[in-house]
Structure 1
Amino acid sequence: MIEVPNVKEIATGQASGKIILMGEHAVVYGEPAIAMPFSATQVTAVIRRSQEDFLDSAYFTGPLTQVPQSLNNLKELIYMLRQDFAAPPLLCTITSTIPAERGMGSSAAVAVAVTRAFLAWQQVEETPAGLLHYVNQSEKIAHGNPSGIDAAATSGTEPILFERDKPFHAFPLKLDGCLIVADTGVKGKTRDTVRDVASLMTTNPQQAQRAIQQLGDLTRQAKEAISANQARYLGLLMNEAHTLLQSLSVSDPTLDQLVQVARRNNALGAKLTGGGRGGCMIALATDAHNAAIIANQLENAGAAATWIQRLGYTPAVPVSL
């Protein structure tokens, strides 16, 4: 137990969303993938002292003891932090623009924001290792055996190359352009698509393994394109990746339609992101003006919401429409 006598009256913590830029599904089979923070969507947590532990959020407002099972990871995170720092009861207020169950790291981002707010409240210096310790504990409760990539991406400022059983590798974002994320409005079906890709690896191993290997190659090329500020080349790689993901049966008509709308409106490239069959798609644009046009057309085509992030900055900058 850590004794911390000084407690601020109120403290705030923030975290960004995250997207998988390249390599989804292939990463399950040992190929690399790239995740990156997406700061156009964010979570903010505010902590202050209270008579009892109390949560105020869009999903639940009330005593922490009464939170639904779906928020058990957040309840346990707060109890863990309070115990480790001998902290008094608290009121935690959470606001978020990250859609849940869309592959954008919502649960990890909430844990990052809450942990940052708590450490600031206790006037304890935040360290990357300390932050990730608590966030990963929360993610284990939420997801069982998480890779840790959501925790790293939602708390960081740079793209991350990751491979199974290897350390994460962050690298600079040196790319001029804008990234658009569009929400289909449908929860992603990651478990179904992972299962179906595994089935395809058994029933048609030659086709499936070739697609997986090609996705890995595209991811490696994408890292080089980002590092060399080659936005147009990255767009072409994204298009190829979507075609391969279609061949693995992880896309669906809604995602394919939004991808085509983005391309018809001069996106450099577009593809699904995350588990597929719902969730989100991403598109790359040359600048904020073109990104706004693409986002508008995506919403006209049925996207539930869109967000734009200007790239080439550290951290990347959200764009207001």
Structure 2
Amino acid sequence: MLDLDALRQRYQEVADAAPEGLWFAPGRVNLIGEHTDYNDGFVLPFALDRKAVLAAGRRDDDTLLIVSLELDEQVSLPLADLAPGQDGWSAYLAGVVWALREAGHDLGGATLVLTSDVPLGAGLSSSAAIECATVAAMADLYDLDIAPMDRAKLARVAENAYVGAPTGLLDQAASTLCEKDAGLFLDCRSLEAEQVPLPLAEQGLEILVLDTKTPHSHVDGEYGARRASCEEAAALLGIPALRDVTDLDAALAQLDDETMRRRVRHIVTENARVLDAFEVAKNGHLADLAPLLDASHASMRDDYEITVATVDLAVEQARRSGALGARMTGGGFGGCIIALAPAGQGERIGAEVAAAFADAGYAAPEWFTVLPAPGAGRLA
């Protein structure tokens, strides 16, 4: 639970005034649709009730004063000095201000004091939460009229161009546009988005999010290798992106490399699973999502080869412990799993996964249960 009183107090200490308001943006999990985003495909994320919160107010000295409550660190940056390539946690906030100014928005300095309970390095989009909270705060402080999807795009510019992380739009769109008890069906080519009801509690369900505590790092190039393989396959097939495959068997027959065939099979079948999940959610029987989650995990494990031993064990044990379905969520090579569980059972399932980890000699995981939460906005 975030200590908002401590956040306000810290703002008072550094600014010698009360904040003008509190703004937040959530982390997210991807219900289904992994690695489909950069293939112009479909995704279905929802927002967590874990979030980044900013106490914020304007300054008249054209300076950004950025403070982290958890790290007990502060950074002061003249607006004129903002430039891509800045290192450290403060770059995610400064990059948003830079992106807004680069887009032509008239804004001055600000004091931004940050607190967050979105786990770091777990694939839950902690960076997007910080960016989208900053967009929300600066837009309100300086009376900027920016549509929700455009806010997400500006947050992505901050991450891509300022921080230097080549992410897609999924994280920022989810953190900005999601609604309570709903998922966000997003077409990553057209950027058309539709809210999809996910009334889990009404149907006696909840989602367990379990962090395997295996850092999901892509520094060894595996993430980039997957993307390059998809782009090469699309070129060989003569299509703009793998989203455009209409006959999977025919496409696979045109490819000689077995590894590339597996990569293509995952993307094409994962896109189909997202579309199926969209229909399931619209039809209102959310327990029917379970086999789609299971099939998604098998595809990530066998065809896209992005799971690791801890993730596979967590998924297998969650199912043995009574989860209806489970899958890895996020870019892979570690990070989190999600499990669709009967209401009230998620905590027990998490504890049984932890026991299985202990038996296997793995570090203890962390877990919590969630229901879909609203996207970025003002708290106070």
- Report the alpha carbon displacement of residue 30 of structure 1 after superposing the two structures with TM: 4.3
1:148 equivalenced with 2:160 (yes/no) = no
CA separation of 1:205/1:118 partners in 2, compared to 1, >3 Å: closer, same or farther?
A: closer
Q: Which residue of 2 aligns with 1:192?
A: 222
CA separation of 1:94/1:231 partners in 2, compared to 1, >3 Å: closer, same or farther?
A: same
CA separation of 1:114/1:234 partners in 2, compared to 1, >3 Å: closer, same or farther?
A: same
1:189 alignment partner AA: S
8 Å CA contact 2:196, 2:278 repeated in 1 = no
1:1-321 correspondence runs (5 A): 9-39=19-49, 41-49=50-58, 53-57=64-68, 58-59=70-71, 61-65=73-77, 69-70=87-88, 71-78=90-97, 84-87=105-108, 89-122=109-142, 127-129=147-149, 131-140=151-160, 141-143=162-164, 145-156=166-177, 157=179, 158-176=182-200, 177-190=205-218, 191-196=221-226, 202-247=257-302, 248-287=304-343, 289-300=344-355, 301=357, 302-311=363-372, 315=374
**For 1:160, what is the secondary structure of its paired residue?**
strand
CA separation of 1:86/1:29 partners in 2, compared to 1, >3 Å: closer, same or farther?
A: closer
1:272 alignment partner AA: M
CA separation of 1:272/1:124 partners in 2, compared to 1, >3 Å: closer, same or farther?
A: same
C-alpha distance in 1 between matches for 2:156 and 2:226: 28
1:259 alignment partner AA: V
Structure 2's unaligned 5+ residue stretches are: 1-17, 234-256, 358-362, 376-380
1:309 alignment partner AA: V
1:65 alignment partner AA: L
C-alpha distance in 2 between matches for 1:130 and 1:280: 29
Deviations 1:51-80 (A, max 9, x none): 753211135622323996133342232356
Deviations 1:227-286 (A, max 9, x none): 222222201110111111111211110001111121111111111011111111111112
8 Å CA contact 1:19, 1:38 repeated in 2 = yes
C-alpha distance in 2 between matches for 1:303 and 1:237: 28
Aligned length: 305
**For 2:189, what is the secondary structure of its paired residue?**
coil
Q: Matched residues, percent identical? A: 20
CA separation of 1:124/1:165 partners in 2, compared to 1, >3 Å: closer, same or farther?
A: closer
C-alpha distance in 2 between matches for 1:53 and 1:198: 38
Deviations 1:13-40 (A, max 9, x none): 111111122121244444422222222x
1:22 alignment partner AA: I
**For 1:171, what is the secondary structure of its paired residue?**
strand
User: Which stretch of the first structure deviates more once superposed, 231-240 or 48-57?
Assistant: 48-57
- Report the alpha carbon displacement of residue 123 of structure 1 after superposing the two structures with TM: 5.3
Structure 1's unaligned 5+ residue stretches are: 1-7, 317-321
CA separation of 1:270/1:137 partners in 2, compared to 1, >3 Å: closer, same or farther?
A: same
CA separation of 1:210/1:132 partners in 2, compared to 1, >3 Å: closer, same or farther?
A: closer
**For 1:65, what is the secondary structure of its paired residue?**
strand
C-alpha distance in 1 between matches for 2:265 and 2:100: 46
* RMSD of Structure 2 on Structure 1 (CA): 3.1
Deviations 1:171-224 (A, max 9, x none): 222342211111111221345145157559744344443333222222211111
CA separation of 1:149/1:197 partners in 2, compared to 1, >3 Å: closer, same or farther?
A: closer
8 Å CA contact 1:180, 1:307 repeated in 2 = yes
User: Which stretch of the first structure deviates more once superposed, 126-135 or 170-179?
Assistant: 126-135
- Report the alpha carbon displacement of residue 119 of structure 1 after superposing the two structures with TM: 3.0
**For 2:222, what is the secondary structure of its paired residue?**
helix
C-alpha distance in 1 between matches for 2:124 and 2:353: 18
CA separation of 1:228/1:81 partners in 2, compared to 1, >3 Å: closer, same or farther?
A: same
C-alpha distance in 2 between matches for 1:210 and 1:246: 12
C-alpha distance in 2 between matches for 1:142 and 1:65: 15
**For 2:196, what is the secondary structure of its paired residue?**
coil
